Amino acid sequence: MTPRVAAIACALALGASSAGGGVAAAVPRPHAPPADTLTTSFDVSGVHVILRRNPANDVVAVNLYLLGGTRGLTEANVGIAPMMLWVSERGTQHYSREALRLKTAELGSSIVVEPQPDWTMFGFRGIRSTFDSTWMVFADRLMHPTLDSADVELTRSQVASGVSERHDSPDDWIEYLADSVAFAGTPYGLSASGTERSIASISAADLRRFRDTALVTSRMLVVVVGNVDSSQVARDVQRTLGTLPAGSYKWTAIPAGVASDTSGDPAVPGTPSPVVLEQRSLPTNYILGYYNGPAATSPDYQALRVATAVLSGRLFAEVRSRRNLTYAVEAPFLERAVAAGGLYVTTVYPDSVLTIMREQVHELQHGLVDTDNLHVIVAQFLTEYFLNNETNDQQANFLARSQLYRGDWHAADNFANELQRVTPQDVQRAARRYMHDVKFAYLGDTTHVSRALLTGF
């Protein structure tokens, strides 16, 4: 939740009454979304392509999703896909490292690698006039990296340095600790960009083997957003990615080992949750915990998204605005195939804040949010969400999540209406069903926190 949305939710939590008013009356109600005539999807030699024409400018974003992410990997080889793509920057079958650098600069393009738990995204940002030329460089890096041993070692040292630096950032490290404890034994418990152990152990031979076995069309989704036409995209895909073997990869929205209960009945909290505490001398203490949520195909998915937004506003109001116990507090929502929600705060008063957090979760579970206030929060949330997703590359991610998590990119068109249909009863149900058994990570002065507060949420 952005500070602006949190502030509005805070204002509602602090002062709004349950009576209807002019502001709420002005909030638009759900309506049928207009038909999307700019987006199409098609297959090219086994590669599924989604194209959204954006004639507003000549910027083009291409995102290729190499499906799988951390699935099927271990602590010994996690991060192998992004590692291969990072090494490809140092040379391919047709371009030396210097030629790659000069060519992309000449084209005015950039190539990006973004590791995620469910996939590794490899893409480029360019302009319409250089689309074909940039595509060929991009495809060559994916399909024909030389993966020279000396290049692998140089890249390894650079990546290892970046991985080790997250230990120096309290926010990055608490996120790593929280993922590890909350999702232990599942793909979501592994770091998509790799660990110090995996980066040290992945060899040039491992990368070549991965290139030769994992680059299959059944493992790929391509999303293009920009002012290009389908025939141009199809032609470029056909002569590059379309020449790869089909393979037998089967994408499933829910990765093995990740629980997803969509029955709709309230779940019963279980035994005390595990917790990880790390002593560190810091100006403040960092606390982050996660709980399991529903699959993206569940009607609870959007309800929990809204519930976390409401909770963020209430936490902002109570912990920061009223009591001044923190600078940063929120209830994050992890948007992926199987969602998760969480609780995050930095504070020098951990026991006091954890007690308030528990009280606010309890109130959300046992009371009903005011309908008019809920409409205002959702409307503001949607404004911020779409502002954050207005660039071509973020639109590509938006379409990809709909396709991969929900089986149809058209679901993106219904996003706003789904959120606006969430009722106070839906919020209460989601809070009751999922906001329990929170698995916490704590970084800071461990003598200042009660372990019982962390394990008994």
* 8 A C-beta contact, residue 191 and residue 176: yes
pLDDT digits (tens, 9 = 90+) for 418-448: 999 999 999 999 999 999 999 999 999 999 9
| 389 or 163, higher pLDDT | 163
Per DSSP, what are the bridge partners of residue 275?
440
Query: What pLDDT does 217 receive?
Result: 98
Q: Which pLDDT score, from 0 to 100, does residue 11 have?
A: 52
Please state which architecture CATH assigns to domain 40-243: 2-Layer Sandwich (3.30)
In this chain, the answer to whether the domains covering 40-243 and 268-455 adopt an identical fold is yes
User: Where does 183-224 have alpha helices with state H?
Assistant: 196-201, 204-214
Assigned CATH for 268-455: 3.30.830.10
DSSP string, 73-87: --TTTTTHHHHHHHH
Tens digits of residue pLDDT in 325-343 = 998 999 999 999 999 999 9
Please name which of 36, 106, 18, 52 lies closest in space to residue 396, comparing C-alpha atoms. 52
How large a percentage of the chain has pLDDT more than 70? Answer: 89
Query: Confidence class of residue 28 from pLDDT cuts 50, 70 and 90?
Result: very low
pLDDT at 187 over 80: yes
Average pLDDT over residues 216-240: 97
Does the pTM surpass 0.85? The reply is yes
Q: 266-280, 309-323, 392-406 — which is least confidently predicted?
A: 266-280
Core vs surface per residue 354-370: b (16+ CB within 10 A) or e: bebbeebbeebbeeebb
352 and 373 Cβ atoms separated by less than 8 Å: no
- 387 has a pLDDT exceeding 50: yes
- Interatomic CA distance for residues 416 and 429, integer angstroms: 20
Q: Given pLDDT bands bounded at 50, 70 and 90, which one contains residue 389?
A: confident
Mean pLDDT computed over every residue of the chain: 90
Contacts of 153 (CB under 8 A, 6+ apart): none
Domain ranges of the chain: 40-243, 268-455
Average pLDDT for 396-403: 95
| 269-286: pLDDT as tens digits | 556 778 999 999 999 999
d(CA 94, CA 205): 20
